[in-house]
Amino acid sequence: MLPAALVGRLRGIVGGDGVIDRADSLVVYECDGYTLERAAPDVVVLPRTPAEVAAVLRCLADARVPFVPRGAGTGLAGGTLPVGAPVMVCTSRLQRIEAIDVANRRLVAQAGVVNLWVTNAVRAHGLHYAPDPSSQPACTIGGNVAENSGGPHTLKYGVTTNHVLGVELVLPSGDVVRLGGAVEDRPGYDLTGLVVGSEGTFGVVTRAVLRLVRTPEATRTLLAVFDSVEAASEAVSGVIAAGIVPAALELMDRIIIAAVEAAYGVGLPTDAGAVLLIELDGPAVGLDPQVERVRGVCGAHRAREIRVARDERERAALWRARKRAFGAVGRLAPNYCTQDGVVPRTRVPDILRRIAAAAERHRLRIGNVFHAGDGNIHPILLFDERDADEVRRVLAAGREILEACVEMGGSLTGEHGIGVEKIGQMPLLFGPDDLRAMVALRHVFDPDERANPHKVFPDAKVCVETRAPRRQAAP
């Protein structure tokens, strides 16, 4: 347990309501979106300003106490699971949008600003913030920066790192450093680019300078229905090969369609093998010819039906179905685990076959809803955590799927991060020299490894105490 004097000092910084240390309140913080492993911190600290974050980290530095940064806790790889870090520093109360510069398309957000608030703040100016994770009504900019989050529309517009020009980082020492900024081409190493996606292992990001993009003049959203997931995934390759860059190109298979339809009833054909959600955007003048080309490609791949959303309401309904698919899965099983792997986009049909084979071999149900245009798969493994054997099979199947991704020339994670979940598999992707270089960089920012310890890098010190899933505290 943390010394009472230290907790007192933290209270002194953030106020009485900014420190949580009662066991029943800490339960909320014992996992993020990755629920297979749980561990509560001793203390959660909720600073309200960047200055308070710096004061908290300086206090922890004096006491040499490790900490884990956390935004909204929507991460899917256990990046905010406290492992050997008694203090959790939550940035969710840093909620100010500090500056909006419409002419230069820049916005300065504090770390706790929710992703969707950014777009809401600038929509009237015809601008938006491009990275749009499915959790965008909840996830925060700070978390997005830590994980280099993606989303469906990153196919055309890029991920978080392409839209973050600068960050304010509180180092584990408590020192505050500003990296990058609103102006491009800053001389020196691209430390902003290094911090984005560093999964909280460099300290706590408190502010970010974001790039805003012009909202395209027109959008067409298509739903292409296929009898088989194979045909749908081949159509994905066909669209890319035709030289079309859709704004988004998402695939949902039969299991997901059924769940989404049961939950939201948007009229998806539940007897289909798979549907593709294809969005094209840009100047109105070029759009309809592109829609026709996409129709042609889908037709050539035996699409049995192609619907085009007739208005914004229909479009919104389709996207709601897609973005809430994870929530809908809750109807299918008590628990689920979302994997996040990447394959070269032409290998999507291959990886889907491997996923199906893994499901059969391990007697599991696995649904697929993912960013097909990027080759970024999200198999959803359904299970009941009370069934210990099934949990073991879920973990084994997940591992096999990721190994298959790497074998196909892909990656362990496209947008969720390594967290605790995939530490063991990092050596599949990176050799000792690669990992040594990364750890050397980590030590530049965090020489004592107090910022989010035991994450990202395989490390002999990681204990196995959290490896066995626990029952959920509440039903």
Partner 1 sequence: MSWAALVGADFVRRGSTGDAVDGVVPEWVVRPGTAGEVRACVHAVAAQERSLVASGRGAHLDRGAPPSSCFVLLRLDRMDAVLDHQPGDMTVTVEAGCTLAALDGVLAPAGQWLPLDPPRPEATTVGGALAANLSGPLRASQGTARDLLLGVVVVGSDGALVRGGGRVVKNVAGYDLPKLHVGALGTLGVIVEATFRLRPRPPCERAVVLAGPAERAAAAGLAARDLAVPPCWLELAAPGVLDERAVLAVGYAGLAGEVAAGCDAASALAAAHGLAARVVDAGAALRGRLGAFGLDAAAVLRAATLPTGVAAVLDAAGGRPAVAHLANGVVRIACACDDLRGLVAALRPGLEATGGSLVVERAEPEAKRGVDPWGDVGPALALMRGVKAALDPSRTLAPGRFVGGI
- 275: phi > 0 → left, psi -120 to 50 → alpha, else beta; which? beta
The tokens of 89 are what? 């520093």
Q: Is 270 in the site for partner 1 (CB under 8 A)?
A: no
Binding part of the chain for partner 1, among 61-69, 107-115, 352-360, 409-417 by CB under 8 A, reads 409-417
Task: Give least dist CB 39 to partner 1, A.
Answer: 23
Burial class of residue 426 (count of CB atoms within 10 Å of its CB; 0-12, 13-18, 19+): middle
Q: Is 159 in the site for partner 1 (CB under 8 A)?
A: yes
Binding part of the chain for partner 1, among 43-51, 147-155, 294-302, 326-334 by CB under 8 A, reads 147-155
Burial class of residue 34 (count of CB atoms within 10 Å of its CB; 0-12, 13-18, 19+): buried
Contact 80, 450 (CB under 8 A): no
- The residue (of 132 and 374) whose beta carbon lies closer to partner 1 is 374
- The residue (of 191 and 404) whose beta carbon lies closer to partner 1 is 191
Q: Which of 433, 365, 422 is nearest to 34 (CA)?
A: 422
The Cα 300–Cα 275 span in angstroms is 15
Contact 176, 126 (CB under 8 A): no
Binding part of the chain for partner 1, among 36-44, 65-73, 103-111, 223-231 by CB under 8 A, reads 103-111
Site for partner 1 in 214-253 (CB under 8 A): 214, 217, 237, 240-241, 243-245
Q: Which of 48, 58, 128, 345 binds partner 1 (CB under 8 A)?
A: 345
Q: Is 423 in the site for partner 1 (CB under 8 A)?
A: no
Task: Give least dist CB 352 to partner 1, A.
Answer: 16
Q: Is 398 in the site for partner 1 (CB under 8 A)?
A: no
Torsion, Cα 462 463 469 472, to 10 degrees, reads: -90
Report how many residues bind partner 1 under the rule CB under 8 A. Answer: 83
Q: Is 386 in the site for partner 1 (CB under 8 A)?
A: no
Q: Is 282 in the site for partner 1 (CB under 8 A)?
A: yes
Site for partner 1 in 28-87 (CB under 8 A): none
Binding part of the chain for partner 1, among 131-139, 221-229, 263-271, 284-292 by CB under 8 A, reads 284-292
Q: Which of 5, 285, 460, 474 binds partner 1 (CB under 8 A)?
A: 285
Site string for partner 1, 179-218 (x = CB under 8 A): x-xxxxxxxxxxx-xx-xxx---------------x--x-
Task: Give least dist CB 415 to partner 1, A.
Answer: 6
Q: Is 168 in the site for partner 1 (CB under 8 A)?
A: no
Q: Which of 374, 385, 390, 449 binds partner 1 (CB under 8 A)?
A: 374
Contact 34, 455 (CB under 8 A): no
Q: Which amino acid is at 60?
A: L
Q: Is 356 in the site for partner 1 (CB under 8 A)?
A: no
Q: Is 300 in the site for partner 1 (CB under 8 A)?
A: no
The DSSP string of 122-159 is HGGGTEE-----TTTTT-BHHHHHHHT---TTHHHH--
Site for partner 1 in 110-129 (CB under 8 A): 126
Q: Which of 227, 438, 458, 470 binds partner 1 (CB under 8 A)?
A: 438
- The residue (of 151 and 469) whose beta carbon lies closer to partner 1 is 151
Q: Which of 137, 158, 273, 458 binds partner 1 (CB under 8 A)?
A: 158
Task: Give least dist CB 235 to partner 1, A.
Answer: 13
Q: Is 368 in the site for partner 1 (CB under 8 A)?
A: no
Task: Give least dist CB 300 to partner 1, A.
Answer: 15
Q: Is 456 in the site for partner 1 (CB under 8 A)?
A: yes
- The residue (of 284 and 468) whose beta carbon lies closer to partner 1 is 284
Site for partner 1 in 304-343 (CB under 8 A): 342-343
Count CB atoms within 10 A of the CB of residue 123: 12
Q: Is 430 in the site for partner 1 (CB under 8 A)?
A: yes
| Cβ-based neighbours of 174, under 8 Å, separated by 6 or more | 54, 55, 57, 58, 59, 60, 61
Long-range interactions of 109-112: CB distance < 8 A, separation 24+: 109/141, 109/207, 109/208, 109/210, 110/50, 110/141, 110/142, 110/206, 110/207, 111/50, 111/71, 111/140, 111/141, 111/142, 111/145, 111/204, 111/205, 111/206, 111/207, 111/208, 112/71, 112/140, 112/141, 112/142
The DSSP string of 241-306 is HTT---SEEEEEEHHHHHHHHHHH-----TT-SEEEEEEEEE-HHHHHHHHHHHHHHHHHTT-SEE
